Amino acid sequence: MENALTRAFWFALYWALRPMPLRIVRAAARLLGWLAYVLWVPRRRIALDNLRHAFPEKTEAERRRIARGAFVNIATTLLEFLVVDRISDEQFAQLVRMRGEEHFARALEQGKGAIYLTAHFGNWEWMGRRIVLGGFPLDVLARTQDDERTESLVHRLRSACGMRVIPRASSRAALRTLRENRILGILGDQHSIEASTIVDFFGRPAATPIGPYVFARRTGAPIIIGFCFRQQDGTYEFELSPPMQLVNSGDRQADDKANAQQFNRVLEQAVRARPDHWLWMHRRWRPAECADARALSNAQR
């Protein structure tokens, strides 16, 4: 029943927004984000609790403003994604300015592919289309949706933007992408106990995926971090950094931990700069699970 209601909601939005100009889509997103903040009480509580730990120096009023902004950001990201395929290439290039694309070009010249490592920050879905529009072949690792028809819609929209979609659990397909000298897009900021390591994020232990570093070690592909920042005029600045300087001491477990910590530091800097851009309503910190994972890791040494 829940899947059917969710599907009906997103398909209703999809068809309602198709003929609308982008300014109306964004106005609808602001309304939807505000309503979600007010009505989705469990997620609002998670967001505010996360913000209290991350920003103890801020007032409660400031943290509430950030939380409301985060709900509006996720609503904007989702609604903009629903109309991404009807924006012309020319208009899209003006809406999203990409800086640092030379890092992708140099990586692909080496013939080992590249790993684009990012987070649920800003509009991460639009960044995929901008990479393809820049002339770079992109495959993205993505979680399979619970509802088959919703999954079909998401897949169709990503494919319309020129991306290939790989199930998140398919390591073999991810490695194939890199060996075909393509870019592999990975979101590396959500809680994950499997194939993860425990490192700090905002001063608290967080289970952080190690997949990007394993793929880089096995293929020699560089890891390029990128984030997008929404501007006052509604455009985005999409900034790619030079390849990560990966730790490679030969101790794989220690190296994965050091590299995951390096990414978390970079992400934390971006989140501190624009805290309303990140997904605070996700249960990123889960102390009990992290403690169990650390105990198991210590026992295996």
- Given this model, what pLDDT does residue 146 score? 74
Cα–Cα distance for residue pair 259/199, rounded to 1 Å? 10
Yes or no: say if 120 and 47 are a contact pair by the CB < 8 Å rule.
no
- Given this model, what pLDDT does residue 10 score? 86
Question: Model confidence at 288, in pLDDT bands (50, 70, 90)?
Answer: low
pLDDT over 60 at 274, yes or no: yes
Per-residue pLDDT reduced to its tens digit, 100-113: 999 999 999 999 99
Give a yes or no: residue 64 inside a domain.
Answer: no
pLDDT over 80 at 133, yes or no: yes
Give a yes or no: residue 102 inside a domain.
Answer: yes
Cα–Cα distance for residue pair 53/46, rounded to 1 Å? 11
Question: Model confidence at 196, in pLDDT bands (50, 70, 90)?
Answer: very high
Give a yes or no: residue 7 inside a domain.
Answer: no
pLDDT over 80 at 270, yes or no: yes
**Residue 166 identity:** I
Residue 42 neighbours by CB distance under 10 Å: 8
- Given this model, what pLDDT does residue 290 score? 65
Question: Model confidence at 195, in pLDDT bands (50, 70, 90)?
Answer: confident
Question: Model confidence at 131, in pLDDT bands (50, 70, 90)?
Answer: very high
Per-residue pLDDT reduced to its tens digit, 36-74: 999 999 999 999 999 999 999 999 999 999 999 999 999
Q: Is 122 helix (H, G, I), strand (E, B) or coil?
A: coil
Average pLDDT rounded to a whole number, residues 194-201: 93
- Given this model, what pLDDT does residue 9 score? 86
Percent of residues, the chain, with pLDDT higher than 90: 84
Give a yes or no: residue 248 inside a domain.
Answer: yes
Dihedral sign for Cα atoms in the order 293, 297, 298, 300: positive
Give a yes or no: residue 261 inside a domain.
Answer: yes
Range of the domain at 99: 88-282+291-300
Sequence length of the chain is: 301
Average pLDDT rounded to a whole number, residues 241-261: 97
pLDDT over 80 at 2, yes or no: no
Average pLDDT rounded to a whole number, residues 284-296: 69
Q: Environment class of residue 123 by beta-carbon count within 10 Å: exposed (0-12), middle (13-18) or buried (19+)?
A: buried
Give a yes or no: residue 234 inside a domain.
Answer: yes
Cα–Cα distance for residue pair 101/134, rounded to 1 Å? 8
Give a yes or no: residue 246 inside a domain.
Answer: yes
Tell me the three-class secondary structure of 123-188, residue by residue. Answer: CHHHHHHHHHHCCCCEEEEECCCCCHHHHHHHHHHHHHCCCEEEECCCHHHHHHHHHCCCEEEEEC
Average pLDDT rounded to a whole number, residues 124-136: 97
Please count the structural domains in the chain: 1
CA distances from 176 to 109, 113, 166, 183, 210 (A): 17, 10, 11, 11, 18
Give a yes or no: residue 145 inside a domain.
Answer: yes
Per-residue pLDDT reduced to its tens digit, 146-188: 778 888 899 999 999 999 999 887 899 999 999 999 999 999 9
CA distances from 19 to 23, 157, 301 (A): 12, 16, 59
